[in-house]
Structure 1
């Protein structure tokens, strides 16, 4: 098995992503930290999202082989709850919670086990280049509302990302209150309901060429709001060109559209983290 991995900071203050590549335990994961809407930094200067991502990373790396992957993510959620409680975070306010999305796999001789929450994604790629999404970006249906508003504002003549963000901020804030709620999305944020939104499963390895784990910063952006993602446009270039080259080309695309006008998105560049496992 050949492995590629990358983690690149976006245009934010720090990289709030993380990844796990534990070949001895056959465990691999990508993690996307979600900062609270209430400003927070610890003594080391980490945001809540960066801290949460590192906590989930550490928890997965310490796995002892006796838990299911769902139990592993739920355990990370409980651990995050305790950390926030000790820091006297108001756990009754969703806007104050730190969080993380995660996608994790355990590679066996004949099978792949996986678990996911949030919008991190896992793809299986087969010998004939068929791309199979094992997971679903759980925030997609909520983001589309904000993307549609963003596009509408562009059509009204707005050209600055800061102005566009201001007009969409209320939607983004209200979306945060749907974390671990029916009709919302799952996220590791210390809430007990997190366990109800973890997705998991198992596939066999017959004809499996590669596994691709990505945080959302590596998704190829779409030019129009409301269009369904064409995952082949993201996944196949990664498998064929390599993760580093794909990332470099994506950064070039984003740098050519700094105000997020041509490609609808909320940041010029989001943090980008990926792990690719090539089986042949």
Structure 2
């Protein structure tokens, strides 16, 4: 099976994404680390989000072949809780928790198993270019209010990312407190409630030519005043052009809009990790 993978740092200090390629076990994953609101760095300078992403990566690489993906994500969540405890993190403070979103697949001869938390996505692409999302961006219903407030700020004359970020910060902070909570979204952050947010399943692979896994930094952003791009506008260019060319073009778009006023997003450039698995 042919595959292409990319992982690139965005405009932040470090790349808090990670990925898993276990060809013998047929397990593949993308991971998006989420830094705590209370700043944390270990002795090596890693943020909590980077530490969480690395832990999820190592745990998935060590996953037994007979483990159920959704059950194993719960096991990983427990391991993350223990690592935070050993690092002196106050587990009662949601703003102190490290976190990670994750999308993982196991590709069998006849079936594809998958599990997901957060806003990492998995897509099946069929021979006729039909794109089937296997997952849902669990934070989209919360982010929409902030994106709308961001766009309203632009329309009112704000023209820098700093001004726009300050305008939306209250919503962004509020959203972080909704992790693994009622009406919120799922994330690996040591909270046992994450088990209620793990999405998982199995599909047959008849007619599927490719699987695409992506962290949210690869999603095509919405243009000011425009409609939200359909998943096909992200996934099909990735499949047809390849990940590298798609990513290069997306970064060019971002570099031409450093203040995030032409394309609505919270960062000039988010970390980008993606994978295409060509099934035949």
**TM bracket (short chain):** over 0.9
Q: Work out whether 1:257 is the aligned partner of 2:257.
A: yes
User: In 1, Cα distance between the equivalents of 2:48 and 2:198?
Assistant: 21
How do 1:224-235 and structure 2 match up within 5 A? 224=224, 227-235=227-235
Q: How many residues align?
A: 280
Confirm or deny: 8 A CA contact 2:115 2:199 kept in the other structure. yes
How do 1:25-174 and structure 2 match up within 5 A? 25-174=25-174
Counterpart secondary structure, 2:185:
coil
Confirm or deny: 8 A CA contact 1:148 1:225 kept in the other structure. no
User: In 2, Cα distance between the equivalents of 1:279 and 1:229?
Assistant: 26
2:5 alignment partner in structure 1? 5
User: Are residues 220 and 175 of structure 1, via their aligned partners in 2, closer, same or farther at CA, if it must alter by over 3 Å?
Assistant: same
Shift of 1:66: 2.4
Confirm or deny: 8 A CA contact 1:7 1:17 kept in the other structure. yes
User: In 2, Cα distance between the equivalents of 1:66 and 1:206?
Assistant: 23
Per the normalisation by structure 1, the TM-score is 0.98
Gaps of 5+ in 2: none
Per the normalisation by structure 2, the TM-score is 0.98
User: In 1, Cα distance between the equivalents of 2:225 and 2:136?
Assistant: 18
Confirm or deny: 8 A CA contact 2:224 2:261 kept in the other structure. no
Counterpart secondary structure, 1:202:
strand
Confirm or deny: 8 A CA contact 2:29 2:213 kept in the other structure. yes
CA RMSD of aligned residues (A): 1.0
